[in-house]
Amino acid sequence: MKLVLAAPLCLSLVCIACSGPRTRQVASAEANIQVAADYRPPEFTREGRRDAALAARPALDAIFRGNADASHYVGQIWGVVLDGELVYFDAFGVVDRDLHRPVDADTKFHIASLTKSFTSMAILKLRDAGALSLQDPVTRHLPELASAQRLTGDSPPIVIEHLMTMTSGLPEDNPWADRQLADTTEDLLALIRGGLSFSTVPGSAYEYSNLGYALMGEIITRVSGRPYQQYVTEEILEPLGMLETYWDYRDVPEGELAIGYRWEDETWKREPMLRTGAYGAIGGMITSLHDMARYVGFHLAAWPAHHGADDGPVRRSTVREMHVPRMPRLDAAAKGADGNACPALVGYGYGLGVRTDCHGVTRIAHTGGLPGFGANIQFFPDHGFGVISFANLTYSASSAQHNEANEALFASGVLARRELPVPAPLARRARQVAELVESWLDADSSRADALGAEILADNFYLDRSREHRAREAKEILGAAGAIQSIDEVAPINQLRGTFVMHGSPRSLRVFFTQSPELPARVQRIDLQLL
């Protein structure tokens, strides 16, 4: 086993890729917007993040190698992306059983449905450019669909967002769609003209539809004036420096293409290599671990919102849109790593699955499977890391091994979520709130009146009179005793927070939140005796 550390991905605020064409500046009508100069985004506060990821390597390698061996994988590669860098990777098995060439980070794998997020990103790029709207009826761009039979008389028209979020009403079509991958555009249009079957009413339920993404590919072709594959390559892959990504296996350099197999009759059988045609938008991409790490790094770099150059192939805010689940569903039976109940909210964003568990941990993920191949990406925007794996065995996208790998990385405790620094305006306001609370005890009301005029919103004493607030403060502060010290405010966001006033013999927690005015003013204060 050898340790290979890849070069950084250079995912700085200015440069998204280490090589390749410069990224394109996204056009914006808000080029001269005003921003809050004192805003500071959440940040990682614990040191040793990279060391912690490297320390978890033996556990991850054991997980992936053990699963690959037990599941009869021909070859597999996996890697960890942390803070924009592929910090390590390792591999198992061979590219081709005939040549016995080992899998490495330059090996090109079919990544199947991982392609879908690129398709969604392309749609969003066209949206950002004003070329289409996500609420456009699909028939505006594909009039061939106008004759499709609706499931009910009150079915709404299918809009582009329905296709993106798997809510179009088209039925689940795995693995039928895999065998259509090489179909021509005319084949796709003939299918549409011949009529389509729907399982649900558009917008009423989630159901995974590859065909919906094939329709998106055709929309991209028509709206952009370029074939889908060309548009994605020129507008997304090249700006990200993804120069090891292909659409036709015949274009992959000799010796670098993973050959697909299936395990059947206690032996490996070679799968025919699939060509990519009109269904390429559902899963036609072929890429390397290095290139996918660049892509995952780009997604991670969109979080949190921050100042700085925004010169990726799409805006950071657009990437963050992709991570918002539409039509989320409660998985009440979900369990945590310890086997105990841990309900989770699950949904599908734009080309990516989204899951937030009972601990508030959000995971963005997608699996991919084709005859001969499996792929999986899982990343955690709030924690800044992700895990990628590719394999050349039919439908070998094992989520279980990824879940184990994630837990091994989380186990260090160092890969904790970002923490929000104390905004300077919030810290100033917290000190004023503390002084106001104490001023309610004064026999002379002048200090409280002066502070109130300076910091309180007009609703404050209308909602509850000054007399009642002063009475409550006297009761709670009387129980707390003389205030000895006051903690720094713990921010909830830019405009609200809590802090503790330590008395003798007790303490009290103060919560306050502010109005949308500029400058913001305090609209609510809650006191809780601890």
Catalytic residues: 113
Q: CA 295 to CA 316: how far, in whole Å?
A: 13
Q: List the one residue out of 180, 183, 138 whose CA is nearest residue 159.
A: 138
Determine the Cα–Cα distance for residues 14 and 526; give it in Å rounded to an integer: 43
Query: For residues 377 and 294, is the Cβ–Cβ distance under 8 A?
Result: no
Residue partners of 356: CB distance under 8 A and separation at least 6: 344, 345, 362, 363
What is d(CA 64, CA 67) in angstroms, rounded to the nearest whole number?
Answer: 5
Q: Give the residue carrying structure tokens 């390590």.
A: 88
Neighbours of 472 (CB within 10 A): 16
d(CA 504, CA 489) in angstroms, rounded, equals: 20
Q: Minimal CA–CA distance to 268: which of 105, 400, 396? A: 396
Q: Give the whole-angstrom CA distance, residue 347 versus residue 326.
A: 6
How many other C-beta atoms can be found within 10 angstroms of the C-beta atom of residue 7? 9
* Alpha-carbon span 169 to 208, nearest angstrom: 9
Q: Say how far apart CA 470 and CA 491 lie, in whole Å.
A: 25
The answer to whether 333 and 342 have CB atoms below 8 angstroms apart is: no
With 0-12 CB in 10 A as exposed, 13-18 as middle and 19+ as buried, what is 40? middle
Rounded CA gap, 113 and 281, in Å? Answer: 9
Q: Say how far apart CA 164 and CA 160 lie, in whole Å.
A: 6
Q: In the numeric block, which tokens belong to residue 292? A: 């996918």
Tokens describing residue 91? 């591999």
Q: How many CB atoms lie within 10 A of CB 478?
A: 10
Are 499 and 487 in contact, with CB atoms under 8 Å apart? Answer: yes
110 CB contacts (<8 Å, ≥6 apart)?
A: 249, 258, 260, 274, 283, 285, 286, 368, 370, 372, 373, 375
Rounded CA separation 176/196 (Å): 14
Residues 388 and 401: their CA atoms lie apart, in Å, by 11
Report the SS3 class of residue 385. Answer: strand
Q: Which residues touch 453 (CB under 8 Å, ≥6 apart)?
A: none
Report how far residue 403's alpha carbon sits from residue 191's, in angstroms, rounded to the nearest whole number: 38
Distance (Å, whole) CA 347 – CA 374: 22
